[in-house]
Amino acid sequence: MLEIGTLVDGKYKILRVVGKGGMSVVYQAVNEKANKIWAVKEVRKDGTQNFEVVKQNLIAETDMLKRFNHPNLPSIIDVIDTEDSFLIVMDYIEGNSLSKAIESSGAQSQDDVIEWSKQLCDVLGYLHSRKPPIIYRDMKPANVMLKPDGNISLIDFGTAREFKSSSVEDTTCLGTQGYAAPEQYGGHGQTDARTDIYCLGATMYHLVTGHNPSTPPYEMYPIRQWNPMLSSGLEEIIIKCTQRNPNDRYQSCAELLYALDHYEDLDIENKKVQRFKWKTFIASAIITLVLLLGAIGFKVAESSAKAQTYDGYLSAADDLVTAQTVSGTVTKGDGTEVFKEAIDQYKLAIATNPGESRAYLDLLNKVYLADNVFSSKEYAQMNDLMKGVSDGAKYIKTGDALLSADPDAYANVTSEIGDDLLFCYENDNGIATSLNWYERAEPNCSDTEKKKLIEEYIVIAKAYLDGGQIDDKGRPTSDPAEVFEALKNISNPEVVNPTDNLKVSLKCYKFISGFLMNKNDFFSLGINESQYNSLLDQLSGNLELIAKSDTYKNNPGLNELMQDVENNIKSARQNGLSAKKTSTGTVGQ
């Protein structure tokens, strides 16, 4: 063990021991120059069997943590391999583990457990969204730190692994008995995101009942058997999380998070109340309808009912958009003000049915892109709307609800936001921001062709972010051939028909031609003159197809976009010719 007061690596002064495990000791340390507290995890070489195996596992764990960026995960600062030990310097998480909370006060407050579980859903969902997904596999109270501010932090990634889609089952049992899912025992299938959902369910069980599932009889009973005052809705959630068959559990953390947000709706007593309210509502509705028919006629009753429906809100929004468009008040970038009343109707529709994609898409296409420009104010409003909206009684996490209800619909909406940022944003910052939305869309898209197109957009957005950077061997960070191929694919009329959506097509071609115009160093990076001109010819051919269409002839508002693309193509040809003359590389024919 390190002695108190020892200075590690000339900068980390050991203050005290904060924890011990079977193979390691964790210390609190301070960097006095930076006045910063750190945690130092020590694994000694002496007394540790198969140290090299342990060391490789530690290296894998630290490499994994270095890639993460989440408020509920610790960051790795330093890795020190000394003669006697292997040291990992990481964020010091102030507070105590949830296992200590149980030891000191027994079962925890139901409200606290639900709040902690939501945070754990969020961090597990983040891990599962990595490429490839990270499966944590050892969720338990001892691995969750409760900080003084009430938030939690997930620690100890010794059993986490990257999900391998080609594997049939895990060959090694890793995890903690009682919390581990059946598939964590070799021969019972491969661990995946649903494994972590099982472990989280077992953790919720322990926290809310005070009964440890890793001690005999290794059985999890319905939680209200221990405490009848607990929510039957929460009981239902935990039972579903801990089903032996992964197909019977929640299939994603987003699904589980949605259930936790609405656990009261699952309560038996609440269901009884709701059934009573529903019967009362039906009776009241019948009486009201009769009165309305007698007093003011069927038409008024019909309109009143429609106004409270999803379709009713959309219809009202469409009428408001049409009125503003006809009045000619739409100018660049002011959609949030001009269409304020329509936006309110779209929000009501989304609050009514957040799992339906039509309101999101109509808001994007009919309001925010009415002027062909996606402004920063419009994007900020859309970004907030994808996080959540209030229906007056509660806050609804709209993006999570849409993902849970229909992953493909979620992919359509998030990729549409990516398209608007890539092609229609008011400045180049949208290109960088689009990457985040495409990376949300790609894993949820089941349409093979659309998924391929999203992947091409990801290549282009990443190339833009690289900004021509080179790696330590002097090579471009992004492969110019791959980027060029992506540009070709999205402008290929056999891949995307340019006349399907003229506005989007012209915006896309304006972006591509502008990209070529500003990235005329393609020649020096290996793209030959023939390839370069062929892509520009393809864009010109697409413009001809658009110009011949009746839709274009009847829409003079697209003339300006068409002219912008033609000017870009002309400039790209001139810049390309200049780049060819000055390039020191060989231009292929």
**48 vs 318: CA distance, rounded Å:** 70
Q: What are phi and psi of 296, to 5 degrees?
A: -130, 5
Residue type, position 237, single letter: I
**370 vs 114: CA distance, rounded Å:** 42
CA dihedral 111, 113, 115, 117 (to 10 degrees): -150
* Residue keyed to tokens 């949820």: 444
pLDDT at 166: 43
**375 vs 335: CA distance, rounded Å:** 8
Q: Which fold has domain 96-266?
A: Transferase(Phosphotransferase); domain 1 (1.10.510)
The answer to whether the peptide bond before residue 217 is cis (omega within 30 degrees of 0) is yes
Which token pair is 356? Answer: 């339906």
Strands of the sheet with 144-146, listed across from one edge = 96-97, 144-146, 152-154
Cβ neighbours, 10 Å, residue 115: 15
Q: Which of 97, 92, 153 lies closest to 126 in space, CA to CA?
A: 153
pLDDT at 73: 87
Q: Are 124 and 72 in contact (CB under 8 A)?
A: no
Q: Which of 96, 143, 108, 99 lies closest to 123 in space, CA to CA?
A: 143
- Where residue 210 falls (left for φ over 0; alpha for ψ -120 to 50; beta otherwise) is left
Domain ranges of the chain: 7-91, 96-266, 268-307, 467-589
* Residue keyed to tokens 């027994």: 106
Which token pair is 77? Answer: 């600062």
Angle at 518 between CA 513 and CA 520, to 5 degrees: 95
- Name the burial class of residue 15, with classes exposed (0-12), middle (13-18) and buried (19+) by CB atoms within 10 angstroms of its CB: middle
pLDDT at 369: 83
> What is the pLDDT tens value at each position of the chain, 589 positions in all?
888 999 988 889 999 998 887 677 899 999 888 788 999 988 877 655 566 766 777 777 777 777 787 888 888 888 888 877 888 888 898 899 999 999 999 999 999 999 999 999 999 998 888 878 888 888 999 999 999 988 999 987 765 666 554 444 444 446 788 898 988 876 556 788 899 999 999 999 999 999 999 888 778 999 999 999 999 999 999 999 999 999 999 999 989 999 999 888 877 655 555 555 555 656 666 666 566 555 544 444 443 443 458 888 888 888 888 877 655 555 555 567 778 888 988 988 898 899 999 999 999 988 888 877 888 888 888 999 998 887 666 788 999 999 999 999 999 999 999 988 888 888 767 877 888 899 999 999 998 888 988 888 888 777 766 554 444 544 445 566 777 787 888 788 877 788 877 777 887 788 778 777 765 556 665 677 788 888 889 889 989 998 988 888 888 778 888 898 899 888 888 876 655 555 544 333 2
pLDDT at 306: 38
DSSP state letters, 207-274? HHH---TTSTT-----GGGT-TTS-HHHHHHHHHHT-SSGGGS-SSHHHHHHHHHTGGGG-HHHHHHH
pLDDT at 577: 61
pLDDT at 264: 86
Strand partners, 237: none
Q: Which fold has domain 7-91?
A: Phosphorylase Kinase; domain 1 (3.30.200)
pTM: 0.47
pLDDT at 279: 58
pLDDT at 18: 87
